[in-house]
């Protein structure tokens, strides 16, 4: 198995943990990512320490409180494939979060270095930007949970729904150079769900010099590390693919560079319109 793929535990471990990616385990500096499953009444309490955190309710409802705030019975979708925006909670560093499951709950815990510049807050579904991106079989649905326009110190969080037979993160793009204003350096995790769950997704991760060049088969519940390089995703016919992206780096801005071999694809709609 590729070292870029992180598999979930077969069953929830201590405090419901299914997956735990740390900067140390990933071999990078900024992004941490956990997935936790809790049954009704089960609880998780964690200090944020030096990190800010975004709690994304993948499915189910929960009570969540921090040092100063409490939100009761948040959450509305029972599956990510309902395709409605999630409830999320932003928690700054030097704080804590206490989660109690109201229903069966799957929650993603996204983390990156914090500077204590922001207050804990609820990110309700109506605060999530929803957009359709791409055209034809490149079209996909985007939920901007924690974009660069929203308050945070390091974290960028977005979820993407790729329909059956479509591609996303496409044309292939990268953000592995600290070369602003043209490109930002951002580590990234992809956390996948597949519907029906016996399906799979395909992701290629590669660099210009091909020192990294892997084509990955990803199953439901697995994650992919993208330390550098281009990273397009494909959903095979018959299967819808969801992924949650977490990004962070030295500067909180998403500036990407398309693979020059494939950048022409973005000009196709205009060319076709001109011919019509």
Ordered domains of the chain (ranges, CATH): 5-265 (2.60.120.10)
Contacts of 103 (CB under 8 A, 6+ apart): 40, 60, 61, 75, 78
Q: Whole-model pTM?
A: 0.95
Q: Which residues pair with 52 in a beta bridge?
A: 112
C-beta atoms surrounding 99 within 10 Å: 23
pLDDT confidence of residue 270: 47
Tokens of 152: 């945070």
pLDDT confidence of residue 268: 66
pLDDT confidence of residue 273: 37
- In the predicted model, residues of the chain with pLDDT beneath 50 are 270-276
pLDDT confidence of residue 68: 94
pLDDT confidence of residue 275: 40
pLDDT confidence of residue 269: 59
Residue-wise pLDDT for 114-148, tens only, equals 998 899 999 999 999 999 999 999 999 999 999 99
pLDDT confidence of residue 183: 96
pLDDT confidence of residue 117: 86
């Amino acid at each position: 198995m590729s070292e870029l793929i992180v598999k979930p535990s077969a069953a929830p471990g201590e405090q419901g943990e299914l997956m735990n990616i740390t900067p140390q385990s990933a071999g990078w500096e900024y992004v941490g990512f956990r997935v936790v499953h809790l049954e009704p009444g089960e609880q998780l309490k964690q200090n944020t320490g030096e990190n800010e955190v975004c709690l994304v309710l993948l499915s189910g409802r929960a009570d969540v409180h921090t040092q100063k705030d409490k939100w009761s019975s948040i959450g509305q979708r029972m599956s990510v494939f309902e395709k409605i925006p999630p409830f999320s909670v932003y928690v700054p560093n030097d704080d804590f979060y206490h989660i109690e499951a109201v229903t069966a709950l799957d929650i993603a815990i996204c983390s990156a270095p914090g500077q204590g510049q922001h207050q804990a807050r609820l990110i309700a579904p109506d605060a999530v930007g929803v957009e359709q991106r791409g055209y034809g079989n490149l079209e996909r649905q985007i939920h901007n949970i924690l974009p660069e326009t929203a308050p945070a110190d390091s974290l960028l969080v977005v979820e993407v729904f790729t329909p059956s037979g479509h591609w996303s993160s496409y044309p292939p793009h990268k953000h592995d150079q600290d070369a602003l204003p043209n490109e930002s350096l951002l580590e990234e995790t992809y956390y996948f769900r597949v519907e029906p769950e016996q399906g799979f997704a395909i992701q290629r991760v590669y660099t210009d010099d091909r020192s990294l060049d892997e084509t990955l088969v990803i199953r439901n519940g697995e994650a992919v590390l993208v330390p550098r390089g281009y990273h397009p995703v494909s959903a095979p016919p018959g299967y819808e693919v969801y992924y949650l992206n977490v990004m962070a780096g030295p500067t909180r801005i998403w500036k990407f560079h398309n693979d020059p071999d494939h950048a022409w694809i973005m000009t196709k709609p205009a060319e076709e319109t001109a011919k019509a």
